[in-house]
Amino acid sequence: MEERKYPTRLKMVGHFLRGSKRWFFLAVIFACLVSLFELISPKLIAFTVDSVIGDQVPDVTGMVKTLLEAAGGTAYLKGHLGMIALLIMAAAFASALCRYLFRLFNAKGAETLVKTMRDDLFSHILRLPFQWHSENHTGDIIQRCTSDVEQIKMFLSEQLTSLIRILILITLAVWYMFGIHKTLSLTAVAYIVIVVSYSYYFHHKIGDAFEKVDIEEGRLSSIAQENLTGVRVVRAFGRETYEKEWFEKQNAHYTGLWVHLLNILAAFWSSGDLISNLQILVILAMGSALCVRGSLSAGNFIAFISYNSMLIWPTRALGRVISNLSKAGISIDRLMYIMNAEEEKDDDNAAEPPMNGDICFEHVSFRFANANAEALNDIDFTIKAGTTVGILGGTGSGKSTLMYLLDRLYDLPEDSGRITVGGTDIRMIRRNWLRSHIGMVLQEPYLFSRTLEENIRIASQKSDRNEVRRAARIAALDETVGHFAEGYDTYVGERGVTLSGGQKQRTAIAQMLIRKPPVMIFDDSLSAVDAETDARIRRSLQENTAGSTIILISHRITTLMNADDIIVMDQGRVIEHGSHDELMEKNGIYRKIHDLQYSQSEQEEDHE
């Protein structure tokens, strides 16, 4: 069984709490002091009613008796009731001050905890394999990192930190109550047992319902995220009504689950209200009867009612902690799924060899998880250092998979051949080193919501404006930028929405060129530019990237025909291999694609 980084909920929560423990510890201390000061007032009121206003001999010993005698005894206090009022006010002020400090330190602990969780999750997610991201929806990941983080924060800061205070308050209140009247106290304690029992019963029901709600919230977030990022596609294909109905259907299901959860919570809280009110009624009736019989003094009855009132809230809060533990547990489990996902790791002996050598694919086979057929089957060829190689193939032929394996976005299994750079197996090359020396431009590049210059400089922060312009010139972008009102300071919008497809591709090319990597991969990254711009970029690359190994992946023969070597792929296999002239002489699939594309080009020219 795979070893988990966080085998238990407690261990992961402990890891997240590493920067918050001192704040929560101080919060607990002051929460306990709040409870102690709150317990003083009922005692003072009982003493005043029975021994100062009444004639009952005070039942005090030790330091309290010494202080009472030093103050002049009950006789003195009868003429100075203001002193007792001042003591009660002082206790109330001390309680308020401690409550303020409790909330202050608790808030510091809570926000520190949230920051730690977010930082850890984001940092960990960035180091997870590309395949993990392919298998998990972005919306669901965002939901886990927001709603579930907030749920854990609320439980730890609003409930768990109060747990010690609750237990102390319950313990002391019950202890004082037993000191007043045992039978009446047993009646009050029975209430605690009932609340804990029905809270445990609701604990499982709330947990199951909340898990379903949490999962559906992630799905709903995914739908919203996909539609917002793909809004142009939705609008272009007139799918607004379909997407709206799909969202509303999922939202209705999500709302129904919330209604079900709220019904359970309503039953839980209403049951608590009913039991609490019945307990107060029983205590009042029994206490009044005991006072009439003379078994209980008026002062002690007032104190008992005060302690019982104090007992109601913490007992309800204890029940809430038990019931909400299930919700927090679900959220912790959902974060554990992320935190226990295995990060990309380098071999202990991984090195940083020169990256300007030959690239060899030696009998490489690869199958995606849960796929029936192999994406690559016994691929064997060499890309000479400093040459330009073209890869041609239809959709699903495996040409992009080759590059993902070379960049280690997917890891090649041990028994599936090997890929070497300069004779070194890429499994023995540090990932950061490998990727920093391989530049890759995809067919659909991703641009961040920043300026054009910031996007080009994203992989080379030390580059200046001149280097940015040089890379843009090679990518045939500089002239286009000159037409923008703000030039390189133009804000490109989310995912580069303000740029055309060709402009985004050329920006991505400039983004790669500014790094000057020894290996450059263009994965159909010239598909959105016209043939003239395509040719201009290729000429510029040839003139400005001497010594670099260039891999061109394309459906367009004109993009590949001047390459030193051309590899033709079909269904995960290399079916033809050679220069343009050699492949034309073979009269195979390359020749057929060439003739077909040129025939279509001539027909388009005739129509024009």
Asked if 197 contacts 248 with a C-beta cutoff of 8 angstroms, the reply is no
Confidence of residue 55 (pLDDT cuts 50, 70, 90): low
Cα-only R_g, the chain:
37
Task: Report the C-alpha gap between 332 and 152 in whole angstroms.
Answer: 7
Structure tokens at 306: 């005060």
Reported as a single tens digit per residue, the pLDDT across 324-356 is 777 788 888 889 999 999 888 888 888 999 888
pLDDT score at 135: 83
Beta strands in 330-478 (DSSP E): 359-366, 376-383, 388-393, 418-421, 424-425, 438-441
Residue with more model confidence, 271 or 123: 123
Share of the chain above pLDDT 90, in %: 13
Mean pLDDT of the chain: 81
| Higher-scoring residue by pLDDT: 247, 225 | 247
Question: In which residue are the tokens 């431009």 written?
Answer: 441
Q: Are 34 and 98 in contact (CB under 8 A)?
A: yes
pLDDT at 453 over 80: yes
Q: C-alpha dihedral over 517, 520, 522, 528, to 10 degrees? A: 40
Question: 501-513 and 531-544 helices cross at what angle (nearest 10)?
Answer: 0
578 DSSP β-pair partners? 566
Of 9-18, 64-73, 230-239, 529-538, the one with minimum mean pLDDT is: 64-73
How far does the chain reach from its first CA to its final CA, in angstroms?
66
Indicate the CATH number for domain 9-339: 1.20.1560.10
As a whole number of angstroms, the distance between CA 245 and CA 223 comes to: 12
Q: What does the CA dihedral 421, 424, 429, 435 come to, rounded to 10 degrees?
A: 0
CA distance 387 to 563: 8
What is the amino acid identity at position 39?
L
Residue 421: how many other CB atoms lie within 10 Å: 25
Q: Which long-range contacts (CB under 8 A, 24 or more apart) does 286-289 make?
A: 286/183, 286/184, 286/187, 287/181, 287/184
The stretch 205-212 carries a mean pLDDT of 78
- Lowest mean pLDDT of 59-63, 133-137, 165-169, 562-566, name the range: 59-63
Point out which residues pair with 439 in neighbouring strands.
520
Nearest to 192, CA basis, from 204, 200, 182: 200
- pLDDT reported for residue 507: 83
Measured at the alpha carbon of residue 71, what is the angle toward residues 70 and 76, in degrees to the nearest 5?
Answer: 130
pLDDT, tens digit (0-9, with 9 covering 90-100), for 581-602: 888 888 888 888 888 877 765 5
The encoded tokens of residue 360 equal: 């060899």
Q: What are φ and ψ of residue 457, in 5° steps?
A: -85, 5
Provide the pLDDT for residue 421.
93
CA distance 509 to 516: 11
**What is the DSSP secondary structure assignment for residue 349, as one 8-state letter?**
T
Domain locations along the chain: 9-339, 350-437+517-608, 446-515
265: how many CB neighbours lie within 10 A of its CB?
A: 17
C-alpha distances (whole Å) from 257 to each of 139, 146, 150, 214, 221 are 19, 20, 20, 10, 15
Fold identical between 9-339 and 350-437+517-608? no
Torsion angles phi and psi, residue 476, rounded to 5: 60, 35
pLDDT band at 360 (very low <50, low <70, confident <90, very high): very high
Q: Are 45 and 92 in contact (CB under 8 A)?
A: no
* CB within 8 Å of 445: residues ≥ 6 apart: 496, 504, 505, 507, 508, 511, 525
Provide, for the chain, the percentages of residues in helix, strand and coil under a 3-state DSSP scheme, each rounded to the nearest 5. Answer: 65, 10, 25
Q: What is the architecture of the domain spanning 446-515?
A: 3-Layer(aba) Sandwich (3.40)
Q: Is the model's pLDDT at 389 over the cut of 70?
A: yes
What is the dihedral sign for C-alpha 126, 131, 134, 137?
negative
Handedness of CA 486, 488, 491, 497 (dihedral sign): positive
Q: Are 286 and 191 in contact (CB under 8 A)?
A: no
- What tokens does 28 get? 């607990």
Encoding tokens for residue 69? 């005698």
d(CA 324, CA 360): 57
The CATH code belonging to domain 350-437+517-608 is 3.40.50.300
Contact 422, 473 (CB under 8 A): no
Question: What letter represents residue 470's amino acid?
Answer: R
pTM more than 0.95? no
pLDDT of residue 64: 46
Least confident of 62-71, 127-136, 396-405, 421-430: 62-71
The larger pLDDT score, comparing residue 531 to residue 285, is at 285
pLDDT band at 62 (very low <50, low <70, confident <90, very high): very low
- Average pLDDT, stretch 132-159? 84
